[in-house]
Amino acid sequence: RRGVDEPRAAAADARGAGVVASPDAAAGEAFALEFEPPCGRVHTFEGTLRPSTGADVPLDATQFVLRGSTLRNTKLALGVVAYTGRDTRLVRNARETPSKLSELERIVNNMVFFILGCMVAMTSASCITYVIWFASAKKNLWYMCYRYNAGSVPELFRENCKSDENYSPGSTWPTFFILFNNFVPISLYVTIELINFVQARYVDEDLEMYDESQDTPVRARTSNMNADLGMIAHVFSDKTGTLTQNVMTFRMCAAGGVSYGGPDHPLSEMRAEIASTDCAARDLATIMGVCHTVVPEKNEQGEVEYRAESPDEEALVDGAAQLGLAFATRDPAGITLDAFDGERRYAVLAVLPFDSARKRMSTLVRTPDGVARLMCKGADNIVLGLAKEGDEGCAKAGGRDVLQKALADFATEGLRTLVLAQRDLTDDECAAFQKRWRAAETAAGKGVDRAKLLAEAAATVERDLEVVGATAIEDKLQDGAPDTIAELAKAGIKLWVLTGDKV
């Protein structure tokens, strides 16, 4: 079952908030829902909710729940069924169950089919040979009741042959096929299964694969895959969550030409600087605490816990709290930070979500001072490419060369890096962008490419950015991962790792 967390719904920035406040309010409302036709894409959705009164509400994957999903941290939800039966996304995305035969079994099966083919050929050749021979030798086969009426045939044979049935020579084909059945290696299957069973027992009793911390031994759930393990020559692996623990921790950052988090400049020094002066470090921490889709939630002990779509975002929000700008609340109107000088309220005007193509996320907010500001975070090559030309775009970060050196140092330590930037907009620029962004969000109809329209709208504000600094997050390797990689190398297995980290 696929769980749907509250952060995804909250990340929709309350675009549908206020349309229906309660089930009773929905009784007198009329709605029209326009959305894309049935397809097999389970990670995207495009639609528009058109109420009888009020503005249109854009719908995307954050409001779309797949069949069989579970809503958590949700007391009440009003919805409408978009697809049913064979038109549901899961059914459209379904594929045939792949074969679970091992490579050895496939080879043996192909050998058996080849042997059966040879048997058919041999049987047919034998049958044809027999027919040819029978045509020439039939006159001498009176003792088999062929031409038994000849005068030289004893009377006893003729009497017995009168009650016998004669078969055509072609009917001997099944006879030859049965005679050749010993060519099929039926016992080979039994031998292979016995070997696989014994090998599976060896795996179950292997103490080197016993996990003492969880008291869990290895279990070979299927025995027919043992031979495939010995054929592996390449391993293609993801890094995050596979080689690493997927537990992100904020470790270091760079702002104003200084790298914090090391022995020379600890994070406590940065925290003190943020509390005393309005500097690049404060701008960096503010972006960390505002530009995200995290939802705060209080547990039974009254402590605030963060619910995030990704552990990276949670680590950045935790880092902002360590630096003195704690993310406190989120509501449809904006975000509140607990700072040194009291609460700071940021009105969220638009959220430009992260995706694999953009490689960045931006949030348009109105600061407590009333300034419309775009806050952006993303991959270094993307954000630096959107910055102002020359050193002006990286002045707050201490210069482009200084920032690049800090990023290289972070990458050498094996840390995950992000570059943070911002840009102040005039009220006219902000109003124009919101209008264009809203039109792109609610665009619908045949031939309308909403993703392209959103990208074009985002490009109007995600430019001439002022880079503030960079962050570095640690994702520790799994226990024993280096030793495992070394053992794979000894076995001649080549390991390929897919990662988006800077290397």
Q: Record the tokens describing residue 281, joined without a space.
A: 């470090």
* DSSP symbol at 167: -
Rounded to 10 degrees, the C-alpha dihedral 360/366/371/377 comes to -10
Alpha helices in 180-239 (DSSP H): 186-204, 226-229
The pair phi, psi for residue 340, each rounded to 5°, is -65, -35
- 268: how many CB neighbours lie within 10 A of its CB? 11
238 catalytic per annotation? yes
CB burial class (10 A; 0-12, 13-18, 19+) of residue 254?
buried
The answer to whether residues 144 and 130 touch, using CB atoms and an 8 Å cutoff, is no
Give the C-alpha separation, 70 to 197, whole Å.
Answer: 40
Return the closest-CA partner of residue 5 out of 77, 72, 76, 78: 72
The pair phi, psi for residue 372, each rounded to 5°, is -80, 115
C-alpha triplet 49, 52, 55: angle, nearest 5°: 60
Give the C-alpha separation, 253 to 258, whole Å.
Answer: 8
Alpha helices in 205-279 (DSSP H): 226-229, 267-276
CB burial class (10 A; 0-12, 13-18, 19+) of residue 199?
middle
Give SS3 for 246: strand
Return the closest-CA partner of residue 290 out of 394, 342, 367: 367
Catalytic residue among 238, 424, 449, 464: 238
Return the closest-CA partner of residue 474 out of 421, 424, 413, 419: 413
Q: How many helices (H) and strands (E) does the chain have?
A: 16, 18
**Sequence-distant (≥ 6) Cβ neighbours of residue 394 within 8 angstroms:** 384, 387, 400, 402, 403, 467
Ordered DSSP codes for 443-459: --STT--HHHHHHHHHH
The answer to whether residues 173 and 124 touch, using CB atoms and an 8 Å cutoff, is yes
Give the distance, in angstroms, between the CA of residue 270 and the centroid of all CA atoms in the same chain.
Answer: 36
CB burial class (10 A; 0-12, 13-18, 19+) of residue 345?
middle
Active-site annotation, residues: 238
